[in-house]
Amino acid sequence: MGNTTEDFDRMMAVNLRAVFVATQAAVKHMKTGGRIITIGSCNADRMPFVGGSVYAMGKAALVGLVKGLARDLGERGITINNVQPGPTDTDLNPATGEFADMLRKLMAVPRYGSVDEIAAFVAYLAGPEAGFVTGASLTIDGGFTA
């Protein structure tokens, strides 16, 4: 993670512009009761290492975008929420190695999350029980930001 102008442009394109463009395209086809769920990062709330400022800023900007879109879409009965995972065991972010060891030391629950745990959280937001949840950024991070 760097902090160059190129890094900034790439992060904003991927983490913010892409969500905005995809949401615009999706809502054209959505009916009342539709759900939009973005995937952010707990780094919107906590960036504990050097070199992550641009990444953290993009994820924090996503929080603001989701809040604004909740207002824009609420009258249509469409909800939008942001899931903010913490360290999650994936191919790109394995739960082993020096970086993972460092992150686990920062967590209340000293383990990486699983993709199934994140998916279950997303499934709740997509379901009928979450019809009154909108504009929220919900963190699932094992206490990384606690």
Task: Give the architecture (CATH level 2) of 5-140.
Answer: 3-Layer(aba) Sandwich (3.40)
Residue 3 has pLDDT above 80, yes or no: no
What's residue 23's pLDDT?
A: 97
pLDDT over 70 (residue 98): yes
pTM equals 0.93
The question of whether 124 is a catalytic residue gets the answer: no
Q: What is the mean pLDDT of residues 113-127?
A: 98
- Res. 44 pLDDT band, cuts 50 70 90: very high
Instruction: Using pLDDT thresholds of 50, 70 and 90, give the confidence band for residue 2.
Output: low
List the catalytic residue out of 35, 43, 45, 55.
Answer: 55
Mean pLDDT of 74-92: 97
Contact of 83 with 125, CB cutoff 8 Å: yes
Identify which of 34, 43, 46 has the alpha carbon closest to the alpha carbon of residue 15. 43
- Distances from the Cα of 111 to the Cα of 87, 94, 139, angstroms: 8, 11, 15
Report, as an integer, the average pLDDT of 110-117. Answer: 98
Q: How far is CA 97 from CA 48, 93, 117, in A?
A: 17, 10, 21
For the chain, domain boundaries: 5-140
Looking at residue 113, its pLDDT comes to: 98
- More confident: 13 or 2: 13
